Amino acid sequence: MSIDTSTKHIYRKRLSVIWLSIETALVSSTIFGFNAIFEILSKDHIYDSYCIISNETNVTISSNESCDEQQKKYQEAVALGLIFFNLPTVFVGICIDLFGIRSVKLISIIFHVIGWLSLGFAQPGQDHLIFIHTVFTAFSGSCTMVTTYASSAYFSKSRAFISTIFTGAGIISGIWFTIFQILIDNNKISLRQICFIWASFGVLLLISSFLFLDWKFPFLNLSYQFDTKQDEITMRNPESSETTNNEKKWYKRIYKRLGIWKYLTSPLYIMIVLFLSTLFITTDLLAITWYPMNYDLYNHDASLGNIY
């Protein structure tokens, strides 16, 4: 008697949902909370040279009240990280189609480890490492999130539900720097120790890459594949077949809405893209402007600004 392939690997798939949700909640969108550690970076004298002023006797002293330029460097690091979190997603999707989810995930692990180690080793004289951290962890987090979303294609009947779980996990990951701030302020742990712990999560990402994700190479493949029933239905339609589309000029495929253009020019697709763009741009802007807004509101008092 043949085994029903839809239920054969059900327990492994369920474990993948739990595992991938946990790692997505740990590492994917941490860049959105980075401004919570601005005060900690200041105490660690990161870009402290921007707070040095000269007194009347030409002796340089450190000013705790005039560090606007220092704060701007932190804000620039966040802004750059958000750029690398959002923009590469298109190319990540293309790479997934070409090489498979696992290949992209393995690349993201390298960026993840380098990014967190960079923040762990950041110190006066090596202040630029916070930029490496924001760029690398943002890109890694974006790859982790996209590959996790893509893995929902392994589920034939519950893709939407699984995608919702992964989305919630990604949103949760933005709180970690706030938790780090509380722990560090209460002398429970240091920022460097936290960075080493988070860098070690690369091991979890590596394990999940081979246990739950697949690639386009002919070795170490999963024993189950994407659900392709919908693709087969689409291929039966001669108007949407690749052969028919390739015979037409590119501009004809656009205005006749053939192939991928059928979806890209769909009013529903355009409306959703515009809606999500408007929705998420506020999140990105808030991550950049929240700290300086409170910093200015409280007359450049960093201690009060960090409360919020």
CA distance 81 to 212: 28
Q: Give the pLDDT band of residue 285 (cuts 50, 70, 90).
A: low
> For the segment 6-53, what is each residue's pLDDT rounded down to a tens digit?
556 788 888 989 999 999 999 998 998 898 898 899 888 898 888 765
pTM of the model: 0.74
Sign for the pseudo-dihedral over CA of 106, 151, 78, 299: negative
Q: Which residue has the higher pLDDT, 145 or 261?
A: 145
Predicted confidence (pLDDT) per residue in 58-99, tens digit: 444 444 444 778 888 988 999 899 889 888 877 887 888 888
> Considering the chain, what percentage of its residues have pLDDT values greater than 90?
31
| 125 phi/psi in degrees, rounded to 5 | 95, -20
Q: What is the pLDDT of residues 185-224, one digit of tens each?
A: 999 999 999 999 999 999 999 999 999 888 888 887 877 6
pLDDT at 189: 94
| Helices 129-150/101-120 angle, 10° precision | 150
Q: How far apart are CA 282 and CA 127, in angstroms?
A: 29
CB atoms within 10 A of CB 245: 18
Class of domain 8-226: mainly alpha
Q: Residue ranges per domain, the chain?
A: 8-226
Rounded Cα gap, residues 181 and 37, in angstroms: 6
